[in-house]
A and B are shown apart, each in its own frame.
Chain A
Amino acid sequence: MDIAESKRNDTVILALAGRLDANNANVLEDKVGALLDAGEQHLVFDLARLDYISSAGLRVLLVAAKRLGAVDGQLGLAGLAPPVREVFDIAGFSSIFSIYPDVASALKQ
Chain B
Amino acid sequence: MLHVKNRLAELQRMDQLVRNFAARHALPEQATFELALALDEILTNVISYAYDDAGEHDILVHVSLDGCDLRVQIEDDGRPFDPLSVPTPDTSLPVDQRPVGGLGVHLARRVTDRLVYRRESGKNIVLMTKRVDR
Contacts and interface: CB of A to CB of B under 8 A. Distances in A.
Interface in A16-61: 19, 21-23, 52, 54-56, 58-59
B9 interface: yes
Contact of A55 (B33, B95, B103): B103
A101 interface: no
B43 to A, nearest CB: 9
Interface of A: 19, 21-23, 52, 54-56, 58-59, 62-63, 65-66, 69-70, 82-83, 86-87, 90-92, 95-97
Contact of A23 (B11, B91, B95): B11
Interface of B: 8-9, 11-12, 15, 30, 33-34, 36-37, 40-41, 44, 47-48, 89, 91-96, 98, 100-101, 103-104, 106-107, 110-111
Main secondary structure of the interface of B (DSSP, over half): helix
A90 B106 contact: yes
A55 B12 contact: no
Given A55-B107, A90-B107, A91-B106, A21 B92 contact: no
Given A22-B11, A90-B110, A91-B106, A54 B41 contact: yes
A91 B91 contact: yes
A106 to B, nearest CB: 17
Contacts of A52: 15, 33, 36-37
22 contacts: A19-B12, A21-B12, A21-B15, A21-B40, A22-B48, A52-B15, A52-B36, A54-B37, A55-B41, A55-B103, A56-B104, A59-B103, A62-B95, A62-B98, A69-B96, A90-B110, A91-B106, A91-B107, A92-B89, A92-B92, A96-B93, A96-B95
